[in-house]
Amino acid sequence: MNRTKLAVLFVAVLCSVSAPAHAGPATPGALEAGFPHVFRLFQLGDPANPACVYYNEAAAGRGAAVDAANCRSDTPHWFVRNSLPDSVLFQLEDFPGRCLIGDTSTLPGVVLVGSCDDPRAGWVGGGHIDPPRWALAPRSAPNMYLRDNGIALVLQNTDTPLETPGYYWNPQ
């Protein structure tokens, strides 16, 4: 192999290793590699109005955060990431056996709470650690991203979830 081809190959490999995640969700391995095991989900698309994902045993929704690093302490908001072969589960720490569900049977899709055995409970995603910015989608609809529209949590499509406010999340 001549030096020019070798140099081009080296640059291509270097770029593929250092390139940030783009629009399409990756495998569950991306969530396992950079996503905390126990976490809260922050929406920081509007820095003046940070929000958290809150839940009870039957429903999940968005609500105002105390600030960019703290959810309200009076409402459950901690999740546990559990890995499956083709996705991850976001289990509700306060309600074992209950998980976030991505239901895309409506438009826009909705986020529910249900049994972790539900086939809609698996999530995939992609993103990066610094700055922490993750796009999340149900395994069953990997182009329908979790979005905070300022009123509710929905599942909608966008070509650039990591660059579109409301579509990217900061797990802490």
The pLDDT tens digits of the residues spanning 103-145 come to 999 999 999 999 999 999 999 988 888 878 899 999 999 999 9
> Regarding predicted confidence, which is higher, 171 or 11?
171
Q: Tabulate helix, strand, coil % of the chain (nearest 5).
A: 15, 40, 45
Strand runs labelled E in the chain: 38-39, 41-43, 51-55, 60-64, 79-83, 88-92, 98-103, 109-115, 122-128, 133-138, 145-148, 153-156, 170-171
DSSP code of residue 70: B
What's the rounded Cα separation, in Å, for the pair 14 and 37?
A: 29
What's the rounded Cα separation, in Å, for the pair 115 and 78?
A: 17
Q: If pLDDT is split at 50, 70 and 90, which confidence band does 81 have?
A: very high
- pLDDT tens, 7-21? 333 333 223 222 333
> Regarding predicted confidence, which is higher, 20 or 66?
66
| Whole-number pLDDT of residue 31 | 72
What's the rounded Cα separation, in Å, for the pair 42 and 77?
A: 10
